[in-house]
Amino acid sequence: MLRQYQEEITRLKTMLERQQVLPITMEIGDQAEVPTVAMSNDEIQRLKQEFIEQHEVKARDLEADRERTVQLQQRLQQEWELVQEERNAIAIHRWFLRMSRNRN
C-alpha cells in the first residue's frame, strides 16, 4: 500500500516537472506555442494536500488494522495455550486413571 502511494507521488512529481520544463526539441522562441497548464499552482498544491491527507488517513487506518490484528493474534495465542493446558490436564488425568486400573 505504501509502495502504491510512493509510486503515485513519483508520478505526480513527474507530471509537475513535465509541465514546468519545455520539451528538449523546442526553441526559446517557440514558447508561445507551449500549451498552458490546465491547473494553477494553487490547484496543484490543493490536490497535493488532499492526496497527502488521504494518504495519512489510509496510513492511520492501516496502523489501526495492524494493531487489531496483533491483538487478535495475542488473544488467539492465549486461547491456544489454554487449550494446550486443558489437553495436557486431560492426558494426565487419563494416565492416572490407567495407572490406578493397572494396580487393581
Q: What is the pLDDT of residues 11-38, one digit of tens each?
A: 877 777 666 555 555 555 555 454 555 6
Cell, residue 96: 492416572
CB 42 within 8 A of CB 49: no
Residue 86 in any domain: the answer is yes
Residue 35 in any domain: the answer is no
CB 55 within 8 A of CB 5: yes
> What does the pLDDT read at residue 97?
93
Residue-number span of the structural domain to which 86 is assigned: 43-103
Residue 25 in any domain: the answer is no
The domain total for the chain is 1
Residue 64 in any domain: the answer is yes
pLDDT in tens, 51-93: 999 999 999 999 999 999 999 999 999 999 999 999 999 999 9
